[in-house]
């Protein structure tokens, strides 16, 4: 799955699209230099198919290159995903 990540600051979310179709998003807020990832969501028909993990990975890959802010996973799904993928742990300690 090839996802395009878009920061939608008016909605305070990062959204992941495949073509024109929204695959999922993460709601965030910014506290100083920390970007808190509050809630991850995928459409009901896309759940339990690995799409959530693909969305989190695409968004974290985008954040790695687009900001130097620390990333703080708050959403349980994102916390667990980062624990299972230690190659992304550096984003939480910037």
DSSP 40: E
pLDDT tens track for 35-44: 999 999 998 8
Domain regions of the chain by residue span: 4-92
60, 86, 31, 38: CA torsion to nearest 10: 70
Q: In this structure, which CATH number among 3.40.50.300, 3.40.630.30, 3.40.1190.10, 3.40.50.2300 belongs to the domain 4-92? A: 3.40.630.30
Q: Based on the number of CB atoms within 10 Å of its own CB, is 36 exposed (0-12), middle (13-18) or buried (19 or more)?
A: middle
Rounded distance, CA 71 to CA 4, Å? Answer: 19
pLDDT tens track for 29-67: 999 999 999 999 998 888 888 888 988 999 899 899 999
Lookup result for tokens 């100083």: 32
């Amino acid at each position: 799955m090839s996802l395009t990540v878009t920061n939608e600051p008016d909605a305070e979310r990062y959204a992941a699209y495949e073509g024109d179709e929204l695959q999922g998003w993460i709601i965030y807020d910014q506290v100083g230099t920390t970007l808190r990832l509050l809630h991850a969501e995928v459409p009901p028909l896309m759940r339990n198919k690995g799409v959530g993990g693909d969305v989190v990975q695409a968004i974290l890959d985008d954040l790695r290159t687009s900001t130097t802010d620390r990333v703080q996973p708050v959403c349980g799904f994102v916390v667990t995903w980062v624990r299972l993928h230690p190659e992304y742990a550096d984003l939480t300690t910037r």
